[in-house]
């Protein structure tokens, strides 16, 4: 779905209305945006539009542009947001991170009060009895998507949004809301990245492992990927998180993997039912949950598989016991007590994680050794030529046979055979743009 579509070219200034009457404010800590709705409604009506049928953030953006073109005074909040987006996206090293941040800001403009409302809903988790809390609302879930849908359903109904599009919107808002408190951006070593997206997940998905995501929601950069379906824009990345799948009245209580793809100014979401099934069955189950009588055509299923499979492999790597994040591990932020209740406040900028840099160095060393000539001494048999064994997933159950057991998933990278031990390679340090 578009979060910042092209400006509404037919909008014009309305006599008697001042942009300053919006009184736009931005909380310096939470970064929440608030404004007077009445002037925006009057501006939309003056242009023959119903504000409930369009994106309020887009209308406000167009009004501000017209206001400035007519010589109007700059608005501090609008200028600050515009400067942040322009300056951040202009830095190539962190372009993907800032496009993710821009997507978040676009959602904030369209739903100015949503994050505060979700904080209120999240505070109710403590009211659930401890005996059932983890089953209904696990700690790895920021907020169930059906609760997000409940918060926005009246607005969507007023806009005439279909049920399928409403679920798509709820999935996107669930992920963006879960990403907002930590804003982790994961950038894979290029060689590890290529090896991972080429590593097919065969058989049943190790779904329990996905609950070990390092954050409620992660944003994974996806260089070289595209959205498919002939779309011209490359895929910038994907927001990924989990949903417990316990919506009232729904028989399927399996958790779901939620993915929102970001391509320039477009957000498109998909939900995958998780269980002891293959990936195609996971996709088909999620579709049947929305519409029990609908069967996904083979070509549509193949398209979804092409989109989801590489994201799944990258996500599974982040859920392994040793994902190689440079020695640190992300921490989920704790709510801050305020007069209005517990709040989660966002960081000033995304936190970028360089993933699997050491493993990438080992892979490159293996390929370099592979090119060296084979040497024999005194006619003896030469040792096995240095080579790289294909990457694959390997899982084992650990723990006592009669007690609690844990499934341990490892991604075995293109394994260097007969070359220097990767663990002995020097640590690679990469300076992140903007750090001293």
In angstroms, the CA 223 to CA 190 distance is: 9
Same domain, 272 and 153: yes
Last residue of a domain, one of 84, 117, 139: 84
pLDDT of residue 370: 54
Q: What pLDDT shows up at residue 426?
A: 40
Q: Assess whether 74 and 106 both reside in one domain.
A: no
Q: Does residue 393 form part of some domain?
A: no
In a shared domain, residues 133 and 242: yes
Q: What is the pLDDT of residue 18?
A: 94
| 268 in a structural domain | yes
Q: How far is CA 199 from CA 82, 259, 312, 394, in A?
A: 40, 19, 10, 12
Dihedral sign (CA 417, 419, 423, 426): negative
The residue among 334, 353, 372 that closes a domain is 353
**Is there a single domain that holds both residue 226 and residue 312?**
yes
- Whether 366 is covered by a domain: the verdict is no
Does residue 365 lie in a domain region? no
What was the pLDDT predicted at 388? 44
Write down the pLDDT at residue 179.
96
- Count of C-beta atoms within a 10 Å radius of residue 72: 15
Range of the domain at 79: 19-84
Q: From 420, 296, 291, select the one nearest 361 (Cα to Cα).
A: 420
Write down which residue in 313, 337, 353 finishes a domain. 353
**Does 154 lie in the same domain as 296?**
yes
Phi, psi (5° rounding) for residue 40?
Answer: -70, -40
3-class SS string, 86-99: HHHHCCHHHHHHHH
Asked whether residue 394 is assigned to any structural domain, the reply reads no
Query: Is there a single domain that holds both residue 32 and residue 145?
Result: no
Q: Check whether residue 76 and residue 104 sit in a common domain.
A: no
Q: Which two tokens stand for residue 6?
A: 């092209």
Same domain, residue pair 70 and 215: no
183 in the same domain as 38? no
Angle at 350 between CA 126 and CA 231, to 5 degrees: 105
Tens of each residue's pLDDT in the chain, 436 residues: 333 334 366 789 999 999 999 998 876 655 567 889 899 999 999 988 887 777 677 788 889 889 988 999 998 888 776 645 444 443 444 478 888 988 898 888 888 889 989 988 998 888 888 877 877 888 899 999 999 999 988 888 888 888 778 888 899 999 999 999 999 999 998 888 888 888 777 777 767 788 889 999 999 999 888 766 545 568 899 999 999 876 555 555 688 899 999 987 788 888 888 888 877 888 887 777 766 667 778 887 888 888 888 998 899 889 887 778 887 888 888 888 888 778 888 888 899 999 988 888 877 776 665 554 444 444 444 555 444 455 555 555 566 666 665 555 555 555 545 544 444 444 333 333 333 3
75 and 195 inside one domain: no
**Are 68 and 106 contained in the same domain?**
no
Tokens of 265: 């100014």
Do 39 and 139 lie in a common domain? Answer: no
59 occurs within a structural domain: yes
Nearest to 239 by CA among 203, 266, 212, 202: 266
Is 381 within the bounds of a domain?
no
Q: Is residue 12 a part of any domain in this protein?
A: no
Task: Provide the domain count of the chain.
Answer: 2
Burial readout 236-262 (b: 16 or more C-beta within 10 A, e: otherwise):
bbbbbbbbbbbbeeeeeebbbbbbbbb
């Amino acid at each position: 779905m578009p979060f910042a579509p092209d400006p509404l070219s037919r909008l014009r200034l309305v006599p008697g209305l001042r942009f300053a009457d919006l009184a736009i404010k931005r909380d310096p800590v939470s970064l929440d945006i608030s404004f007077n709705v009445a002037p925006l409604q009057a501006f939309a009506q003056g242009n023959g539009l119903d504000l409930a049928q369009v994106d309020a953030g887009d209308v406000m953006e167009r009004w501000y542009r017209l206001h400035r073109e007519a010589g109007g005074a700059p608005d501090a909040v609008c200028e600050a947001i515009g400067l942040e987006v322009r300056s951040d996206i202009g830095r190539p090293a962190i372009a993907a991170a800032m496009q993710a941040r821009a997507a978040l800001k676009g959602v904030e403009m369209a739903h100015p009060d949503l994050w505060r409302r979700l904080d209120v809903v999240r505070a109710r988790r403590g009211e659930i009895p401890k005996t059932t809390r983890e089953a209904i609302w696990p700690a790895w879930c920021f907020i169930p998507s059906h609760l997000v849908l409940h918060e926005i359903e009246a607005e969507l109904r007023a806009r005439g949004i279909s049920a399928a599009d409403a679920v798509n919107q709820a999935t996107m808002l669930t992920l963006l809301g879960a990403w907002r408190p930590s804003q982790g951006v994961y950038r894979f070593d290029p060689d590890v990245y290529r090896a991972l997206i080429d590593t097919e997940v065969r058989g049943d998905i190790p779904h329990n492992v996905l609950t070990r995501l390092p954050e409620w929601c992660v944003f994974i950069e996806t260089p070289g990927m595209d959205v498919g379906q002939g779309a011209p824009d490359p895929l910038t990345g994907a927001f990924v998180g989990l949903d417990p799948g316990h919506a009232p009245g729904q028989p399927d209580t399996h958790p779901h993997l939620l993915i929102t793809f970001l391509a320039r100014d477009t957000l498109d979401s998909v939900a995958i039912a998780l269980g002891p099934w293959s990936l195609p069955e996971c996709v088909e189950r999620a579709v049947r949950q929305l519409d029990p009588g609908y069967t996904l055509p083979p070509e549509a299923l193949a398209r979804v598989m092409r989109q989801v499979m590489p994201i799944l492999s990258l996500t599974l790597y982040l859920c392994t016991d040793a994902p190689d994040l440079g020695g640190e591990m992300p921490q989920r932020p704790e709510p801050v007590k305020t007069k209005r209740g517990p709040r989660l406040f966002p960081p000033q900028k995304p936190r970028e994680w360089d993933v699997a840099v050491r493993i990438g160095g080992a892979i490159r060393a293996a390929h370099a050794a592979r090119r060296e000539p084979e040497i024999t001494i005194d006619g003896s048999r030469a040792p096995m030529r240095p080579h790289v064994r294909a990457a694959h997933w390997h899982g084992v159950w650990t723990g006592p046979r009669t007690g609690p057991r844990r499934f341990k998933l490892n991604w075995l990278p293109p394994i260097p055979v007969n070359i220097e031990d990767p663990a002995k390679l020097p640590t690679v340090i990469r300076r992140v743009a903007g750090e001293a």
